[in-house]
Structure 1
Amino acid sequence: MIRPRFRLAPLLLAPLLLARCAWLAPDYKRPSLPLPDRWNGAAAVARDDSEWWHSYNDPVLDQLIADALKDSDDIALAKNRLSQARAQYGYAFANQLPAISVVGADAYGQVHLNESLPIPQKMSNLGFVGGMLTYEVDLWGKNASLSNAAKAGVRAAACAEDAARLSVSAGTAKLYFSLRALDAEVAILEDAVRTQDELLALVQRQYDVGAVDALLFQAATERRDTAHAALPDARDQRDRAESALAVLAGHSPKDIAQNDISRGRDLYDLTIPEPAPSVMPSQLIERRPDIAMHEQMLIASNFNIGHARAAYFPSLSLATLAGVNNIDLNNLYRATTRSWALPAAMAAPVLDFGRTESGVKLARAAKNEQVVLYQQSIRTAFKEVRDALLAENTAADRDNSDTEREKAAETRLHLTTLRQAEGWSSRIDVLAARSTLEQEQLTRVAARLQRLDASVDLYKATGGGFRMSR
């Protein structure tokens, strides 16, 4: 008896050899935009800003950002989306490979044969046990297109996670700077309240003896009331900043309720980085995670066109079935016959009333949308870098100017105090000079905060150490 020889290896390799023998996805070309050769008003400085927040030299800030990058809800959501994208890619990739399954069937019945055959016609078990291998030959790259689109989706999700990390780190830094500025503002307003209380008390005594008129007394009263009203608002803003920072850093509900945020260096002791981008304009496209994300989404949409086009062409499916058959009342699984089959099926579209054409049009429109979003992200990136550079220059000028004004107010207070000691000025003159100094201090706090925020914005606008590696 000659038995057919069944070999599984050639059947497994054949589909892989037939796959990807045609390709319908358009060739991808990165959309180009004219880029400047250099930044206006600033030259790029080569520096390592992979962990840019260390440049402020505040260990508390470093720890807050480390906590935020580890426990932030926004980053946790981005990581989950990345896991979903990886699972989707795994599914799409596996869809290109054969599927192997076990097949078993059992039935109890009677087979009616020709009466001339010398075989008893009796009730019997009809059984089959075997394996099945199924595979859709990817002649037109349909499944490969889906797999590559899903792979680009993984890269896009990874870039989105990096964008979330950059946003969280920048947001944490700016909130921390706001908190330190509000700490300084509260301290100044507390001094201002004491100054205005003392000043009003002196004016009150003069008013009681008729040395000053009611208008001067009313003006002193209004200044005192303004100082008292500003202090609770500043304290409330400081508490809200602490709560927001605790949430962003991923602290526990207990820590959020206690508003227990550590403090590091004072506002004026923080190191301000040099106001210059760390990349050339041509490097910005590779450094911004949002730009990289939009490009990967564009690549995915390009592959989706190939998947949609494949619906115009026939699909070829292969199936291999091998096993044992038995017609045996006493022992179902004692093989009486062995069989195998290699069927193939092809289905070709004839009339789908424009369904495939509409699918291709939809895929092309989706790609055109991604082109616009990609180009828009580049324009937005260059705008943000330019705005950050301008804001840094403006904030630096304002900070320097307000510093000089504060020094002048300090000198005036010092001279007025000396004149009081010599009898040339009154206590009211000293308190008025102190009030002027306190106003200049508040102005300088705002200027220093603006300068720190501008430096963070520049780091964020230039990608903050992001490198496209996935």
Structure 2
Amino acid sequence: MRKILFLIPLILGGCSWLAPDYKRPVVALPATWNGVQAVTRDDHTWWRRYGDPVLDHLEEDAAQHNDDLALAKSSLSQAQAQYSYAFANQLPSLSVVGNDAYGKFANGNLHAAGQSFRFPNKTSNFGFVGGMLNYELDLWGKNASLSDAAKAGVQGAVYAQDAARLSVAAAVAKLYFSLRALDRNVAILKESVQTQDDILRLVQHQYDVGAVDALLLQDATERRDAVHAALPDMEDQRNNAESALAVLVGRSPQDIVQAGISRGRDLQELNVPEPAPSVLPSELLERRPDIAMHEQMLIASNFNIGYARAAYFPSISLASLAGVNNIDIDNLYRATSRSWTLGAAMAAPVLDFGRTQSGVKLAKANRNQQVVLYQQSVRTAFREVRDALLAQNTAAERDADNGARDGAAQQKLHLMTLRLEHGYASQIDVLAAQSTVQVAELSQVQARLQRLDASVDLYRATGGGFTALPLKKKI
């Protein structure tokens, strides 16, 4: 009989049947990516496709030292601790108890801990030491629901950490590309400053001898001044991008102030991958870590409803006490008797003025909110994939067009230089052609940057090598 009583809590515990059955919200999904072929690839280190060792090193630094990733790791540890606490709350608790009373007792019998003791009429003590076992029968799945909700919270924290890792990796890549683009822009503007200075000098000479009027001189002066003004702004943008990248990869304050970011390949030398969606539309729900995170939060809110509903029903607790007693103070550490007790307590709600009902309503409202957040994450994911696909196509076309424009400007400069060598063009004509080349190069840099950014956006939008799987880590 005792064995049966002991097994009842284990049989009845862990049943979160008051929680609603979870069903993933139905979302209408497209069958294809508008004709774009999805490929099977699990590219966890997608940034290596750009072929820049410096970028690879920066990504490794960010993965180890980025503050956002450290916070995500801390949040995961908190969720794991919360789950451990909720899981342990389903199990019995064993504690050591003891008491000692010292004084003079009247002649007679003393009844304590289920035993009757005879003691003399003298100063004595009554001592007890033993163990106490407490357990709450989880008949309604209150503790089980709380444990299941905490477990879903751990899974959500795992996916949140993966989402943060993907976001940081994309931010590092885009900021590094921006830095390399700004490096190239600064170099081009420095060349432009020299070119416009030379043009102004020649126009000034022509004006001095009366070959040109004041309007042409003023136009050359304004172009020179515009280039001179643009250079410091571009240098400031480069310095700000370098500092931001140092913070993003987790550099120390000393390194941020004193050290700079290493440079790798030039922007035009970087590989420009054209990633295709690595999953079908129906698989994106399992691919994006942020979507997986929101689904786990929805699952947790579902179990919280079961926890809130359990407050409608009685709570039953079992307590068992067993130990040894001693009456004589001179023999305090020698037991004179042994005792044990087994008891049960029940508390049932009668009138709580709507407290439990409000708790259930609050849990349901939170579940409804999580449904909206989940659906919103799905919509955002598909919008980002669509925008990234379109941006990748237009950026590739823009890059090709600007490349052709740059090539034509370079060819014009070459022809103008040949004309100068044969006396058919002036030095100012060659400088004007150089200025055209520099403008085309600035446009080409911007187009290449947009193309690189579009590829990063598509990697991030499709999950960037992440695969949402059932949690197998030890919690």
Whole-angstrom distance in 2 between the partners of 1:217 and 1:268: 36
In the other structure, the counterpart of 2:103 is 109
Query: What's the CA shift for 1:437?
Result: 0.7
Is it true that 1:437 corresponds to 2:437 in the alignment? yes
Q: Matches of 2:361 and 2:95 in 1, distance apart?
A: 37
Q: 1:17 aligns with which of 11, 16, 19?
A: 11
Equivalent positions of 1:170-181 (< 5 A) are 170-181=170-181
1:413 aligns with 2:413: yes
For the 8 Å contact 1:388–1:461, the answer to whether it is kept is: yes
Identity of aligned residues (%): 70
Q: Which residue of 2 aligns with 1:305?
A: 305
SS in 2 for 1:103: strand
Q: Post-superposition shift, 1:329?
A: 2.9
Cα distance, 1:413 vs. partner?
A: 0.8
Corresponding residue for residue 114 of structure 2: none
Residues 221-260 of structure 1 aligned to structure 2 (within 5 Å): 221-260=221-260
Is 1:212 matched with 2:206?
A: no
**Pairwise CA distance, 1:45:** 2.0
Residue 3 of structure 1: aligned partner: none
8 A Cα contact 1:275 1:389, kept in partner: no
Q: What SS class does the counterpart of residue 264 from structure 2 fall into? A: coil
Residue 111 (structure 1) shift? 3.2
How far apart in 2 are the matches of 1:62 and 1:192? 33
- Using the TM superposition, give the Cα deviation of residue 122 of structure 1 relative to its aligned residue in structure 2, in angstroms: 2.5
Q: For 1:137-286, list aligned pairs within 5 A.
A: 137-286=137-286
Where 1:330 maps in the other structure, the secondary structure is helix
Give CA deviations for 1:47-78 in whole Å, capped at 9, x if unaligned.
23211101111111011001001110110000
1:388/1:441 Cα in 2 relative to 1: closer, same or farther (>3 Å)?
Answer: same
Which residue of the partner structure matches residue 112 of structure 2? none
Looking at structure 2, the residues matched to 360 and 29 of structure 1 have their Cα atoms a distance apart, in angstroms, of 19
Structure 1 position 113, deviation (Å): 4.4
Shift of 1:12: 5.2
Q: Report the equivalent of 2:458.
A: 458
Contact kept? 1:318, 1:342, Cα under 8 Å: yes
CA distance in 1: counterparts of 2:351 and 2:106, whole angstroms: 43
The answer to whether the Cα contact below 8 Å between 2:133 and 2:321 also exists between their aligned partners in 1 is: yes
Kept in 2, the 8 Å contact 1:243–1:259? The answer is no
Post-superposition CA distance 1:289-348 (Å, at most 9, x none): 110010000000000000000001111100000011121131112211211010001111
Q: Paired residue for 2:62, among 54, 64, 68?
A: 68
CA distance in 2, matches of 1:333, 1:114: 23
Match of 1:46 among 40, 48, 69: 40
Contact persistence 1:239–1:259 (CA under 8 A): no
Which stretch shifts more, 272-281 or 144-153?
Answer: 272-281
2:167 partner letter: S
- Residues 185-228 of structure 1, C-alpha deviation per residue, up to 9 Å, x if partnerless? 11111110110011111001000111100000000011111111
TM-superposed CA distance for 1:114, in Å, is 5.1
Within 5 Å, which residues of 2 pair with 1:335-346? 335-346=335-346
| Structure 1 residue 258, shift from structure 2 partner | 2.3
Instruction: Calculate the TM-score normalised by the size of structure 1.
Output: 0.96
Query: Does the 8 A contact of 1:156 with 1:297 survive in 2?
Result: yes
Hey, what's the Cα distance between the residues in 2 that align with 1:73 and 1:84? 17
| Inter-partner Cα distance in structure 2 for 1:18 and 1:209 | 105
Q: Residues 246 and 259 of structure 1 are in contact (CA less than 8 Å); yes or no, is this contact kept in structure 2?
A: no
Confirm or deny: 8 A CA contact 2:14 2:90 kept in the other structure.
no
In the alignment, is the contact (CA less than 8 A) between 1:173 and 1:456 conserved in 2? yes
**Contact residue 12 and residue 98 of structure 1 kept, 8 A:** no
Unaligned runs of 5+ in 2: 110-116
**Superposition deviation, residue 237 in structure 1:** 0.9
What letter is aligned with 1:54?
A: R
Q: Deviations over 1:405-464 (max 9, x none)?
A: 111111111111111111111111111011011000001100100110011001111111
Alignment of 1:370-381 (within 5 A): 370-381=370-381
Alpha-carbon distance between aligned partners in 2 of 1:130 and 1:118, rounded to the nearest angstrom: 21
Q: Which residue does the alignment assign to 2:334?
A: 334
Question: Is the 2:39–2:276 Cα contact (8 Å) retained in structure 1?
Answer: yes
Rounded Cα–Cα distance in structure 2 between residues aligned with 1:311 and 1:126: 41
1:383 matched to 2:377? The reply is: no
1:347 counterpart residue number: 347
Amino acid at match of 1:366: N
Distance 1:22 1:226, change over 3 A: closer
TM-score calculated relative to the size of structure 2: 0.95
| Shift of residue 395, structure 1, vs aligned partner | 0.8
Q: Distance in 1 between matches of 2:193 and 2:414?
A: 20
For 1:259 and 1:230, the matched residues in 2 are separated by 25
How far the C-alpha of 1:275 sits from its partner, in A, is 4.1
Deviation of residue 15 (structure 1)?
2.1
What is the DSSP-based 3-state SS (H/G/I as helix, E as strand, rest coil) of the residue aligned with 2:439?
helix
Question: Displacement of 1:22 after TM fit?
Answer: 6.5
Rounded to whole Å, the distance in 1 between the matches of 2:124 and 2:143 is 45
Alpha-carbon spacing, 1:347–1:35, altered in 2? closer, same or farther (3 Å): same
**Contact 1:242/1:259, CA 8 A, preserved across alignment:** no
Structure 1 residue 269 displacement after superposition = 1.1
What CA deviation, in whole Å up to 9, does each residue of 1:218-243 have, x standing for no partner?
A: 00011111111111111111111111
CA distance in 2, matches of 1:338, 1:10: 24
Task: Find 2:85's aligned residue among 91, 109, 117.
Answer: 91
Which deviates more from structure 2 when the two are superposed, residues 120-129 or residues 149-158?
A: 120-129
| Distance of 2:121 and 2:430 partners within structure 1 | 124
* Number of aligned residues: 463
Q: In 2, distance between residues paired with 1:68 and 1:431?
A: 44
Partner of 1:317, secondary structure, is: strand
CA distance in 2, matches of 1:459, 1:409: 34
Amino acid corresponding to residue 445 of structure 2 in structure 1: V
User: Secondary structure of the equivalent of 1:343?
Assistant: strand
What residue identity is the alignment partner of 2:187?
Answer: A
Residue identity in the other structure for 2:100: D
Alignment-derived partner of residue 94 in structure 2: 100
Runs of at least 4 residues off by over 3 Å:
9-14, 110-115, 117-120
Report if the CA contact (8 A) 1:22-1:139 is conserved.
no
